[in-house]
Amino acid sequence: MTTFGSFLRPMPSAGRVFLLSLLLTAANLLRAEPAAAVAETAFQKEDPYPQIMLLTNVMEILRDNYVDENKVTYERLIAGALRGMLRELDPYSAYDTPEEHRRNSDDLNGQQVGLGVMVRKNDYEAVKVMAVIPNSSAAQAGIQAGDWLVEVDGFSTLDATLEECMRRLSGPVDSEVQLKVYREEEDELHEVTVTRCAFARNSVPSNGIEMLPGGYGYIRIESFTSNTPAELDRALKQLNQKSMHALVLDLRNNPGGLLDAALAVCDRFLGASELLLFIEGRRESDREVFYAGDSTVKYLNLPLAILVNGHSASAAEIVSGCLKDHRRAALIGEKTFGKGSVQRVHQLNNAGAIRFTIAKYYTPSRNLIHGVGIEPDLEVELPEEEELPLKLLREPAGLRMTLEDGSEWNDTQLQEALFYLEKETGANSDR
């Protein structure tokens, strides 16, 4: 299996935003391992056995001498070795335990188990709740956007990594997790018990579809899952019925997902046979070119602006780069993250899996995105003191958005997108 997104990989920049219930990757391109023989190289002649013996020797030393015997079982030591081995290659290669692999597959099909919160985790800070999914177990327990998750079952999140926090927040359906929650306006800690539950989460949320004043449609895609194309189609149809004459597609804070879903989004806005994407890897079988099809409803003449920021990554960059290169959409906001590598998922005989990078992708103009990102057509930075709320819209209020807590927030990036579309269409919005 090959994956194109990373839903929960920690990004090296500050202000990383992630969905707790969405995990790391999922399948999109099924490829059998090539059977063809290749010319033997010095690399292939390298003798692995001395290094394998070294690893075995270290494991036995630890099993005989390490102070906590329960930490040096063969299963834990091998899992640790696999994690370290994959982590040594690049930030997106990793080992998933059987439970993690099962959750990954479920999550990218739109099914998740968790608390129902989106979070940010900076170094030396606790986990901050950025948004709470309506009717989730977290919402029912009273957790709010802006809360800090200081402890999880007695474990401090302050000095922990995001992955460590994830492991402790994750668990079986109907299991409970004890949280210590700090709320700044009250300046006190609350102890909260939350029951983990299974829920379906739309990649195009119900509060991410709006008709803004002046006939401008607004659609927010929060991730790319197998359900994204159908959800986008419903949103476009809904807005078309309200006489939409231009569209803002919001991909800010979208960390990626399935390649097929990203290509399907591009397909809605480009004519048949238009070039969408190059993939180039070490093997011939890992080199592909993708083109738009002709089997979907097209929106070829709909003026389009795409909002992006430094947390728009992977599949979100595929869409942004493709539509920018074709001059089909204007990118407005900040430079994207720069995650443009392809990971293959290989299931192991213990029901776990390894994910490793096999290729990089290029936009139609053959621009490499990995490590570079995509520059917007119109750079608009949010003021440093403002933080993009992930739950943007409850009710449209011109260019000031009413948030879930009743407060208002001025979205200057969206404002610029509407100015751009107004100029393109020659319309005057009611602002």
Tell me the pLDDT tens digit for each residue of 385-426.
Answer: 455 544 443 333 344 555 445 555 578 899 899 999 999 987
Displacement of CA 240 from its chain's centroid (Å): 28
The hierarchical CATH code for the domain 111-200 is 2.30.42.10
Q: Is 294 a catalytic residue?
A: no
Tell me the pLDDT tens digit for each residue of 189-245.
Answer: 989 999 988 766 788 988 789 999 889 999 999 889 889 999 999 999 999 999 999
Task: Give the percent of the chain with pLDDT over 70.
Answer: 79
What CA–CA distances, in Å, run from 20 to 10, 39, 353? 12, 45, 20
**What pTM value is reported for the model?**
0.70
CATH class of 1-32+47-110+202-425: alpha beta
Of the listed 320, 325, 341, 411, which one is catalytic?
325
What CA–CA distances, in Å, run from 426 to 30, 35, 86, 279? 46, 58, 53, 38
Average pLDDT, the chain: 81
Q: Is 314 a catalytic residue?
A: yes
Q: Is 64 a catalytic residue?
A: no
Of the listed 250, 339, 341, 411, which one is catalytic?
339
Read off the tokens for 308. 């992006």
Of the listed 170, 314, 320, 341, which one is catalytic?
314
Domain map of the chain by residue range?
A: 1-32+47-110+202-425, 111-200
Q: For residue 198, how many other CB atoms are within 10 A of its CB?
A: 14
Distance CA 277, CA 361 (A): 7
Cβ(256)–Cβ(4) below 8 Å: yes
